[in-house]
Structure 1
Amino acid sequence: MREGFAFVDELVPGIRWDSKYATRDNFTGKPVDGYLVNRIVGTRELCVALTQARDKAAALGLGILLWDGYRPQRAVDAFLRWAEEPSGHDARKQIHYPAITRPEMFEKGYVATKSGHSRGSTVDLTLFSLASGELLDMGGGHDLMDEISHHGAAGVSAEAASNRAQLCSVMESCGFSRYDSEWWHYSLIEEPYPDTYFDFPIE
């Protein structure tokens, strides 16, 4: 592990995770370069802020589930190569990008050629009920690259809009800023490496 980084679950007990890019359950349909184990990595500063967010969520009867944290630059490069491949019959399209093409993922800002994730202090996450373990309804899943995923999107149920607002309140109160096009994406405002895009693998 690179100095200054850690496995989030080791520093933030009680947090759940499902590293989507280490599995086939992502928009590419296969594990992504650089994700060798199903764990979430982040800067130590990120872990401190997530500890605060975990506690604020718990006070509301809620827990935090992480889908992604630090993302190696080689994974971003793999996304670029994937976007240039002939799509053919893509079983993941209806789940992740039903109304756009692969290149439009980049044009519309859902995937970046230089991702804040690679700086180590950005997370993709959601909330779940501590009582039942069930994920809260957010009006769409992780990496649904569609306008319905935007903050304030029309067509989202009142319950989902309330849950998104609750997540936003928790995260912003703990020093994070939201990304307007993805309800699940938050970055630490005072990130320790604002200009560095790391490429060490998660292993």
Structure 2
Amino acid sequence: MKTIKILPVVLLAALLFSCATNSKTEHRNPHNLPLVNSVGEYKTQVAGNPEMELIDLETAIENVVLDIRYATSDNFTKEVIYRSPKAYARKPVADALKLVQDSLESLNMGLKVYDAYRPYAATLKFYEVYPDPDFVASPKTGSRHNRGCAVDVSLVNLNTKQELEMPTSFDDFSEKAHSDYMNLPDAAIQNRSILIGVMSHFGFSVISSEWWHFDYNGWQDFPLMDLSFEELTN
């Protein structure tokens, strides 16, 4: 009888341990990069330097439009990569984006955000699907998205929230996506110029192969991270 009473307790403990283990995010690091993949380590860094905090852009920037494609299957991987449609960026990046949004409002324009902070796990997945470093960051070095210092953005009409005419759709890997490609409709060139000009004014640099991708100046000062959105909010 004692064995019968003890056995369910042992099984229950094992089951609870298994569930707790499986609920944790798996953090792969095949290239042994200096990744922040512990919530405790992240909180310690924020306590030592408040600029390390990852800010929720949806709540921080008034009238910003989110179109987080990697939280859907409507992206180049054709898979859902994020469990939540969230956009985070380091505090100085978020502050700069607020200034961009304020400046665009005078033109009846606003920002649409496709992606911002990206966990390193997503970078691994992207490179498995499309191993071209001209368009997808190599997991050997990590992405500036992994540092919370890169954003993928476009422009919308502030009243309708509809995207303005741009050179290509998001994550187009053709030559037309290059930030200096000119064989385009005048409206697309003009809107791209406005976006690049305003973003540059507030501390961002566009990359040559993607008109929508902007790195924040000083990204080198922030570490690579591999924390999921859910880990950041818990």
The equivalences for 1:11-160 within 5 A come to 11-32=60-81, 35-81=82-128, 83=129, 102-103=130-131, 105-106=132-133, 109-113=134-138, 114-160=142-188
Alpha-carbon distance in 1 for matches of 2:160, 2:224? 38
In the other structure, the counterpart of 1:198 is 225
The equivalences for 1:142-181 within 5 A come to 142-181=170-209
Q: CA RMSD in A?
A: 1.5
Deviations 1:105-147 (A, max 9, x none): 33xx100112110010110000011133221111210000111
Does residue 8 (structure 1) correspond to residue 84 (structure 2)? The answer is no
Deviations 1:137-188 (A, max 9, x none): 1121000011101122142111101110000111011111111111001111
The equivalences for 1:177-192 within 5 A come to 177-191=205-219
- Conserved? CA contact 1:18–1:39, under 8 Å: no
Alpha-carbon distance in 1 for matches of 2:60, 2:162? 23
- Conserved? CA contact 1:152–1:161, under 8 Å: no
Deviations 1:26-51 (A, max 9, x none): 1000111xx22001011111110000
Alpha-carbon distance in 1 for matches of 2:152, 2:162? 17
Question: Which gives a bigger RCO, structure 1 or 2 (Cα 8 Å, sep 6+)?
Answer: 1
Q: 1:199 to 1:132 in 2, by over 3 A?
A: same
Q: 1:80 to 1:5 in 2, by over 3 A?
A: same
- Conserved? CA contact 2:157–2:164, under 8 Å: yes
Higher helix share: 2
Alpha-carbon distance in 1 for matches of 2:124, 2:54? 21
Runs (4+) off by over 2 Å: none
In the other structure, the counterpart of 2:18 is none
Alpha-carbon distance in 1 for matches of 2:178, 2:146? 22
In the other structure, the counterpart of 1:97 is none
Q: Unmatched 5+ residue regions in structure 2?
A: 1-38, 47-52
Q: Which amino acid aligns with 1:122?
A: A
* TM-score w.r.t. length of structure 1: 0.83
* TM-score w.r.t. length of structure 2: 0.72
Alpha-carbon distance in 1 for matches of 2:98, 2:179? 24
Q: Unmatched 5+ residue regions in structure 1?
A: 84-101
